[in-house]
Every structure is written in structure tokens, then in C-alpha cells.
């Protein structure tokens, strides 16, 4: 029988596990970004769908989600899995922004909806915000300000919104937090078609 050498391998193994998890995360994001398959859309009431989707979201305990839904009965035609991915990417960015902000910052992410000529989902954090230089590059694949960031979250979310005939815009300023607006066409109730 071989005697133990007195070497503690738990810390190196834990580092290896974290590195593998990061690599798996990056590979998953690359696959999401590369996904160009056909959308499988169904009409859903935005507020009800979003409430159910956010109910399954995991986040750190110290961060709260403030939900303010005001899209009424707006119906949107979406690929539920892909739109979920876009929203999760934006929420994950907001969580990371709050984690990197001073402790005095409000640790709340507000998710609101509105509907007029289009349905909007607005995701707002009170983190450190972005400079104009960073803001001008956020949709570049692989651009990230984080040491272990893949730089694919927002480009993937924008691509998903484009596939839905929608838009994704970002409003941010240093020290003022960030708001991401996801706009979706509203389904015309009497014809079941997406409004132009």
C-alpha cells in the first residue's frame, strides 16, 4: 500500500473544477451565439410569461428583483427558450455589475414591462454604469471588461432580439447604472400576425 505523501490536493482540485466550469460556461455561450436555427414561436401574454420565467431564475440572495409589469394583455410571438436566454444574459450582466459596485449601491435589479406600439422589457441595475467607449463596443463578440468574461452575453441577446424582429438598446452612464430595453412586436389580435 502506498503511503500518503502529505500533499493537500483539495485546493488545486477546486481550482481545476472552477476552471472547467468557466470553460464549460464559455463553450455554452459560444454555442448560444452561434445558434442560427429556426425559431419555434408561440403567442404568449408577455407579463404572465415573464413572471413565470423570472420565478425560475436563480440569483445571489443579496440581490433583489423588483418586478413592475405594465404591458397589460400584450401578446408577443416568441421562441420561449431563446427569449429566456436573452433575458438571462442581461440579468447576469446586471448581477455582475452590482457585484463589482461599492457596497453602498442599491442591490436591486428592476424588471419592468410596457406596451404601446411595441412591447418592452426594461432591465435596470444601479451598478457602476459604462463609459461611452465601453458602451460603443458592447455588441462586439468577445469584448468584455471582466477578467473571466466571454463577451458573448449582450451580442447573443441582441441576435436573439433581431431574430424576433425586435430590438435591444442599452442606456448607461458612469455612476448611473444601466438599463437594457428589449422591444418586441405585438401580435395583432384579430389576425394572429406580428405587427409591422
Structural domains in the chain? 10-184 (3.30.565.10)
Q: What is the mean pLDDT of each run of 10 residues along the chain (196 residues)?
A: 63 75 60 66 95 89 90 94 93 86 78 95 90 78 57 84 94 90 82 42
Query: Would you state the cell numbers that stand for residue 75, as one nine-digit string?
Result: 401578446
Torsion on CA atoms 165, 167, 168, 169, rounded to nearest 10: 170
**What per-residue confidence (pLDDT) applies to 130?**
84
Record the pTM. Answer: 0.74
CA 158, CA 166: separation in Å to the nearest integer? 9
Residue 71 near residue 138 (C-beta atoms within 8 A): no
**What per-residue confidence (pLDDT) applies to 167?**
95
CA 22, CA 28: separation in Å to the nearest integer? 10
**What per-residue confidence (pLDDT) applies to 61?**
83
**What per-residue confidence (pLDDT) applies to 144?**
59
**What per-residue confidence (pLDDT) applies to 3?**
47
Query: Would you state the cell numbers that stand for residue 20, as one nine-digit string?
Result: 472547467
Residue 109 near residue 65 (C-beta atoms within 8 A): yes
Please state at what angle helix 46-55 crosses helix 80-99, rounded to 10 degrees. Answer: 60
- Tell which residue, 113, 119, 105, 110, has the closest CA to residue 176: 105
- Tell which residue, 158, 170, 171, 75, has the closest CA to residue 115: 75
Residue 39 near residue 86 (C-beta atoms within 8 A): no
Element spanning 182, H or E: strand 178-184
Amino acid at each position: 500500500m502506498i503511503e500518503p505523501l502529505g500533499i493537500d490536493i483539495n485546493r488545486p482540485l477546486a481550482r481545476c473544477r472552477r476552471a472547467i466550469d468557466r470553460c464549460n460556461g464559455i463553450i455554452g455561450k459560444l454555442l448560444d451565439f452561434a445558434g442560427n436555427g429556426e425559431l419555434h414561436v408561440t403567442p404568449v401574454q408577455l407579463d404572465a410569461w415573464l413572471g413565470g420565467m423570472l420565478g425560475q431564475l436563480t440569483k445571489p440572495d443579496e440581490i433583489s428583483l423588483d418586478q413592475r409589469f405594465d404591458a397589460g394583455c400584450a401578446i408577443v410571438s416568441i421562441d420561449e427558450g431563446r427569449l429566456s436566454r436573452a433575458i438571462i444574459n442581461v440579468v447576469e450582466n446586471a448581477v455582475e455589475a452590482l457585484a463589482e459596485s461599492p457596497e453602498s449601491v442599491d442591490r436591486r435589479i428592476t424588471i419592468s414591462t410596457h406596451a404601446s406600439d411595441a412591447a418592452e422589457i426594461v432591465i435596470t441595475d444601479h451598478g457602476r454604469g459604462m463609459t461611452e467607449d465601453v458602451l460603443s463596443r458592447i455588441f462586439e463578440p468577445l469584448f468584455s471588461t471582466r477578467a473571466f468574461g466571454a463577451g458573448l452575453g449582450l451580442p447573443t441577446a441582441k441576435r436573439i432580439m433581431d431574430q424576433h424582429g425586435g430590438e435591444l438598446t442599452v442606456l448607461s452612464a458612469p455612476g448611473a447604472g444601466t438599463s437594457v430595453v428589449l422591444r418586441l412586436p405585438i401580435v395583432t389580435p384579430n389576425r394572429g400576425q406580428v405587427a409591422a
